[in-house]
Amino acid sequence: MADNERIQVHLSESVAFQEFLRDNQTVIVRAHATWCKPCKMVQPLFNACVEELPKCVSIVHLDIDKAPSVSRKLSIRSVPCFISFHQGQPYDVSKGSNPVSVKSFFNKVKNRLGMK
């Protein structure tokens, strides 16, 4: 993968998820489900917000139905849910598809990265 491309993966196993967190400094997890209408509605906003971040921020797409062990480990009880990690530690969480909440979540990530 070229240096100017963002890493985006679909993970379903706990071990792979932990390794990904270990190997990537800043990660955003997008927890969703294929049957979830709010997840589909917020997807374009999520994509737009991700594009504003530096390419060093990696994205994990986590389908809760395909990754129940990871979902349990992250205590995800509703979707959509967004979680940011920095150096393997969780920092910010946004639950639901409210555009203001989603933008606020991404603003917190930007602040953590020293962006304005």
Look at 1 and 69; give whichever has higher pLDDT.
Answer: 69
Is pTM beyond 0.85 here? yes
DSSP string, the chain: --TTS--EEE---HHHHHHHHHH-SEEEEEEE-TT-HHHHHHHHHHHHHHHTS-TTEEEEEEETTT-HHHHHHTT--SSSEEEEEETTEEEEEEES--HHHHHHHHHHHHHHTT--
Q: Quick count: other Cβ atoms within 10 Å of Cβ 48? A: 12
* pLDDT score at 115: 86
Q: Quick count: other Cβ atoms within 10 Å of Cβ 73? A: 12
- Write the pLDDT tens digit of every residue in 68-94: 999 999 999 999 999 999 999 999 999
Half-sphere exposure of 34 (CA within 13 A, CB side): 3
- Write the pLDDT tens digit of every residue in 107-116: 999 999 998 6
Domains and CATH numbers, the chain: 8-96 (3.40.30.10)
**Residues 56, 23: contact at Cβ < 8 Å?**
no
The CA distance from 64 to 58, in Å, is: 19
